[in-house]
């Protein structure tokens, strides 16, 4: 077998090695399980490692490939799953003592799709309790840490998914996103996180946070792998990779700059990252221009009211009967929904429709749009005041309000060696264009071989 560093193989590269017989799914799975056992005590990405199941699935994938039964690009590929998504026979804890003993009786549809594709489940990974709260120390499991600097927050709520990818524990992970919870850890951990069009990936079998805003999304270390993972999650083979390499020549891309230059401020290095990305897209042949959407405050307030109202409805019974079993952060974020009236939420829902129509109007002549993801750099995980201050300093909620696809893509590194990122957004059900833009831009980035020094 040719010498490769298996821990950092992506989906496409590992698949090629499987089919050339230079690497087997069992070898890759064993290597990753060994790495998790050796290093995850430092970043706490996993809540539960499913080693026996993973090796059984890897052996099945290996035997099927040897027999010529090729299920597609995810066959034999190990992945990590946010522990808010059901796998038959395994606990779905939502990182909460309330559901510590909750064992799923059936696979969520997204898990069933990945089983059909031949993917290998390494385990269930950490999140913020019930996909809200924050990095808490008053829960049965510790919070995940950022592999680039273990003193820092990895972003949430899909914190374990982002950390597992950045640490070289898995080439693929699945997260959920209600107000940015796939794109936040992707941004902080220097990976690619996609929030697809609302309902493209079923949320059945996923514990809800705010059902009208919830999305399930793929997380990987590069754009091509992300497209392959979404194809497996949706059963739409080839839908997002067919035109991946078509380039940017002639495309029109809007920059939603007023969010972070007029209505809010951003870290200077994040600003440099997105400015460089816009320049790169122009060099690649795209027409890049500033565009304007309704004010950021409107998007934030609309999403806040809907999310707080819906998440309180999900948790009302437990908040009244078992409040002590939540972490303090979760209680503080869930309880405000109790005072939101039906009239307020109806107004917010009507405003949501208007905001979505305006987004559709602005995007009518565009192929894609870009804006920042985070306004801040990751803060220390042991500073609750800083986490509280920075947690809402982002630009992700507009695309949960619209339900349209948005992806966090790395734009380089800060002077301190921390990942920088931006978002790319597209019209509803136009994930193919989103991947096309993201792939072309990512290929234009200077080649980086940096990896966290765990």
Active-site residue numbers? 82, 157, 181
Give CA 321 to chain center in angstroms: 32
Question: Is the Cβ–Cβ distance between 85 and 107 less than 8 Å?
Answer: no
**Burial tier of 321 (Cβ tally within 10 Å: 0-12, 13-18, 19+):** exposed
What is the side-by-side strand order in the sheet with 215-220? 46-49, 120-125, 78-82, 172-177, 215-220, 192-195, 406-413, 419-425, 368-372, 252-255, 287-290
Q: In the beta sheet, which residues pair with residue 407?
A: 194, 424
Q: In the beta sheet, which residues pair with residue 217?
A: 175
The SS3 of residue 287 is strand
Nearest to 160 by CA among 178, 142, 140: 142
Kind plus residue range of the DSSP H or E element containing 122: strand 120-125
Q: In the beta sheet, which residues pair with residue 424?
A: 370, 407
Nearest to 256 by CA among 299, 192, 302: 299
Kind plus residue range of the DSSP H or E element containing 192: strand 192-195
* Phi and psi torsions of 79, nearest 5°: -145, 160
ω into 157 cis (within 30 of 0): yes
Residue 343 CB neighbour total at 10 angstroms = 8
**Tokens read off for 233:** 């999650």
Q: What string of DSSP letters covers 210-244?
A: STTT-EEEEEESSHHHHHHHHHHHHT-TTTTTTTT
**Burial tier of 365 (Cβ tally within 10 Å: 0-12, 13-18, 19+):** exposed
| Cα separation, 28 vs 50, whole angstroms | 15
């Amino acid at each position: 077998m040719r010498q490769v560093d298996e821990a950092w193989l992506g989906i496409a590269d590992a698949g090629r090695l499987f089919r050339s017989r230079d690497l087997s799914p069992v070898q890759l799975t064993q290597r990753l399980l060994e790495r998790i056992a050796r290093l995850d005590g430092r970043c706490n990405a996993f809540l539960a490692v499913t080693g026996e199941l993973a090796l059984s699935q890897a052996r099945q994938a290996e035997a099927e490939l040897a027999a010529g039964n090729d299920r597609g690009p995810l066959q034999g590929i190990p992945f990590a799953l946010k522990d808010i998504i059901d796998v038959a026979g395994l606990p779905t804890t939502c990182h909460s003592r309330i559901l510590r003993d909750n064992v799923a009786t059936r696979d969520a549809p997204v898990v069933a799709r990945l089983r059909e594709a031949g993917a290998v489940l390494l385990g269930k990974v950490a999140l913020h309790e019930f996909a809200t709260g924050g990095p808490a120390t008053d829960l049965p499991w510790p919070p995940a840490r950022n592999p680039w600097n273990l003193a820092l927050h990895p972003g949430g709520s899909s914190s374990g998914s982002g950390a597992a990818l950045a640490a070289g524990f898995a080439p693929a992970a699945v997260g959920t996103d209600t107000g940015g919870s796939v794109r936040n850890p992707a941004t902080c951990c220097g990976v690619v996180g996609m929030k697809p069009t609302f309902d493209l990936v079923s949320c059945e079998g996923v514990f809800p946070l705010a059902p009208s805003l919830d999305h399930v999304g793929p997380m990987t270390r590069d754009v091509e792998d992300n497209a392959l993972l979404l194809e497996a999650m949706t059963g739409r083979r080839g839908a997002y990779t067919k035109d991946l390499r078509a380039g940017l020549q002639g495309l029109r891309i809007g920059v939603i700059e007023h969010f972070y230059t007029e209505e809010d401020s951003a870290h200077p290095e994040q600003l440099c990252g997105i400015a460089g990305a816009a320049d790169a897209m122009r060099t690649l042949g795209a027409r890049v221009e500033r565009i304007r959407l309704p004010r950021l405050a409107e998007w934030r307030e609309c999403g806040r009211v809907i999310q707080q109202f819906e998440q309180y409805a999900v948790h009302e019974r437990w908040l009244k009967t078992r409040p002590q079993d939540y972490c303090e952060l979760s209680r503080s974020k869930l309880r405000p929904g109790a005072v939101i009236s039906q009239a307020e939420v109806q107004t917010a829902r009507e405003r949501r429709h208007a905001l979505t129509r305006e987004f559709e109007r602005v995007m009518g002549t565009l192929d894609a749009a870009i804006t920042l993801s985070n306004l801040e750099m990751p803060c220390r995980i042991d500073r609750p005041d800083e986490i509280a201050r920075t947690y809402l300093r982002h630009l992700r909620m507009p695309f949960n309000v619209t339900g349209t696809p948005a992806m966090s893509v790395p734009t380089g590194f800060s002077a301190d060696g921390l990942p920088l990122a931006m978002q790319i957004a597209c019209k509803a059900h136009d994930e193919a264009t989103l991947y096309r833009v993201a792939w072309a831009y990512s290929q234009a980035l200077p080649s980086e071989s940096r990896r966290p020094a765990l």
